[in-house]
């Protein structure tokens, strides 16, 4: 995909738009309709006459460009104003006054060839003006869309390029797929892949907005909510983002349907947990029957029809070794890690990124042999046991203050909590809380993200939460 604009392409569009100055054809190629500066103007106009709006918008953009070109040009002091033919004036004479090249040449004392050449230069100058505005507008739009994405908790991903391209292809307008799922075991990188895909789709301008949703699932009297209730919560959260003025759920559903039909959106449901939950979500989305697209991450696989399901795989042998080298060099360059050590990790752990990262972090304080001993081999089918073993080893190495903070994290929102909130609920002195945060972060137990407004938020992975609840707090396991 190449969404960048060339000066040649814009110049060709400018030429066509000038030629169609008095035409109301409704053709986008004659009205600069593919430009974001045009789409912005169109969005402020009533939608009752699209063809007229396109023409008005194109003429407005061209008029502004002509005015800017005139401001750049000035006049030649030794030439009478009526006899001075600037590029902007030539464009007005040619397309707005409908004069042919010969008429203009005779009026100003030039040859037809000179008029043709001057007109080509004028079109290129106008294209340069529009291209600069378009690039600036695109950067602004992408910046606004990026604010909807959760902050990244990683610096570099391994082994996802093929997956990224496959999922991205389904999000493009050329694909009729409406629902895309990314599935896989915990810690495999589903959310990270979804973030990469969303970031990559932004320059395509295929969606007016991106809405990223993660819903806290609170239980009532120890009982999990039903899939239907869970999806209602997703709808409520979506409505809060898109239609905050609506009061009732049924009103919001109807308005959301109309809204998502009129304006294509990309809606991300991150971390649906159970098969029942993802099945309910797919049924409800298909019943909405809208132009927008939905990207779902889940540990539960689906074989529903008319859904593009991408099952994430573990890192390959080569990708795992490259990932381990990167982690050691980036975070612990003094660690005496050998190729043999990396091979040992892959042999026991497999290619699960989160498990690998935790082992490398733990290797700073424990011999690798001690970390890996007693871990059941078998990789994917024993993933939960592997994580439990690694978490227990890590827990044993934590300072008391770090343990205290970690035990509080399941009580905070999934979207994360602030430093001030942690200080309030932990009652730890500033220095001890700072040390606890640093230790938890170093051991990959605490995710730290920087919001767009500069605020720092702290959260934990679902696997970490499950370990704390089940093994430390002795609460019912959050099944998934």
Tens digit of pLDDT for each residue in 58-105? Answer: 999 999 999 999 988 765 444 455 668 899 999 999 999 999 999 999
- pLDDT tens digits, 432-462: 999 999 999 888 888 887 766 667 889 888 7
Q: Which CATH number fits domain 317-472: 1.20.1250.20, 3.40.50.720, 1.10.10.10, 1.10.150.20?
A: 1.10.10.10
At 26, the pLDDT band (50, 70, 90 cuts) reads low
For residue 241, pLDDT over 60 is answered with yes
Look at the domain 161-311 and name its fold. Rossmann fold (3.40.50)
Instruction: Give residue 376's pLDDT.
Output: 59
At 380, the pLDDT band (50, 70, 90 cuts) reads very low
Lowest mean pLDDT among 121-130, 225-234, 257-266, 465-474: 225-234
- pLDDT tens digits, 156-179: 899 999 999 999 999 998 999 999
Instruction: Give residue 141's pLDDT.
Output: 94
For residue 45, pLDDT over 90 is answered with no
How far is the C-alpha of 59 from the C-alpha of 40, rounded, in Å? 14
- In this prediction the pTM is 0.80
Share of the chain above pLDDT 70, in %: 87
Helix axes 400-408, 419-426, angle to 10 degrees: 110
For residue 48, pLDDT over 50 is answered with yes
Q: Are strands 209-213 and 417-418 parallel, antiparallel or unpaired?
A: unpaired
For residue 477, pLDDT over 60 is answered with no
Domain edges within the chain = 7-145, 161-311, 317-472
At 265, the pLDDT band (50, 70, 90 cuts) reads very high
At 381, the pLDDT band (50, 70, 90 cuts) reads very low
- pLDDT tens digits, 94-149: 999 999 999 999 999 999 999 999 999 999 999 999 999 999 999 999 999 998 89
**Mean pLDDT, residues 38-50:** 80
């Amino acid at each position: 995909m190449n969404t960048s604009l060339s000066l040649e392409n814009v110049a060709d569009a400018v030429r066509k738009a000038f030629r169609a100055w008095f035409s109301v054809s409704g053709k986008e190629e004659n009205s600069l309709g593919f430009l974001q500066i045009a789409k912005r103007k169109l969005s402020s106009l009533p939608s009752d006459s699209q063809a007229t709006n396109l023409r008005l918008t194109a003429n407005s953009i061209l008029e502004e460009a002509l005015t800017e070109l005139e401001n750049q040009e000035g006049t030649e002091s030794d030439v009478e104003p009526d006899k001075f033919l600037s590029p902007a004036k030539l464009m007005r004479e040619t397309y707005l006054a409908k004069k042919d090249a010969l008429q203009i040449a005779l009026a100003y004392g030039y040859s037809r060839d000179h008029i043709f050449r001057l007109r080509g230069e004028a079109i290129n100058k106008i294209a340069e003006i529009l291209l600069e505005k378009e690039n600036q507008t695109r950067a602004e739009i992408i910046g606004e869309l990026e604010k909807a994405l959760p902050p990244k908790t990683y610096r570099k991903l391994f082994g996802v390029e093929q997956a990224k391209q496959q999922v991205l292809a389904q999000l493009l307008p050329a694909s009729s797929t409406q629902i895309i799922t990314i599935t896989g075991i915990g810690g495999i990188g589903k959310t990270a892949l979804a973030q990469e895909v969303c970031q990559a789709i932004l320059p395509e301008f295929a969606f007016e907005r991106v809405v990223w949703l993660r819903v806290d699932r609170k239980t009532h009297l120890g009982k999990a909510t039903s899939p239907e209730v869970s999806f209602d919560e997703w709808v409520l959260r979506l409505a809060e983002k898109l239609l905050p003025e609506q009061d009732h759920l049924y009103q919001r559903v109807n308005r959301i349907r109309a809204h998502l039909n009129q304006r294509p959106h990309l809606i991300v449901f991150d971390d649906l947990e159970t098969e029942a939950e993802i099945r309910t979500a797919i049924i409800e989305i298909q019943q909405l029957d809208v132009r927008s697209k939905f990207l779902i991450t889940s540990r539960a696989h689906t074989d529903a029809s008319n859904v593009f399901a991408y099952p994430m795989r573990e890192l390959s042998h080569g990708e795992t070794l490259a990932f381990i080298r990167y982690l050691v060099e980036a975070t612990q360059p003094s660690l005496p890690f050998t190729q043999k050590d990396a091979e040992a990790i892959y042999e026991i752990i497999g290619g699960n990124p989160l498990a690998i990262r935790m082992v490398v972090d733990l290797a700073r304080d424990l011999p690798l042999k001690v970390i890996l001993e007693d871990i059941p081999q078998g990789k994917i089918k024993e993933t939960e046991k592997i994580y439990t073993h690694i978490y227990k080893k890590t827990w044993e190495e934590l300072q008391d203050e770090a343990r205290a903070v970690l035990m509080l994290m399941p009580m905070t929102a999934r979207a994360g909590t602030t430093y001030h909130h942690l200080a309030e609920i932990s009652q730890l002195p500033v220095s001890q809380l700072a040390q606890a945060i640093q230790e938890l972060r170093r051991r990959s137990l605490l995710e730290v993200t920087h919001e767009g407004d500069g605020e720092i938020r702290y959260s934990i992975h679902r696997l970490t939460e499950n370990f704390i609840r089940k093994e430390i707090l002795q609460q019912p396991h959050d099944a998934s």
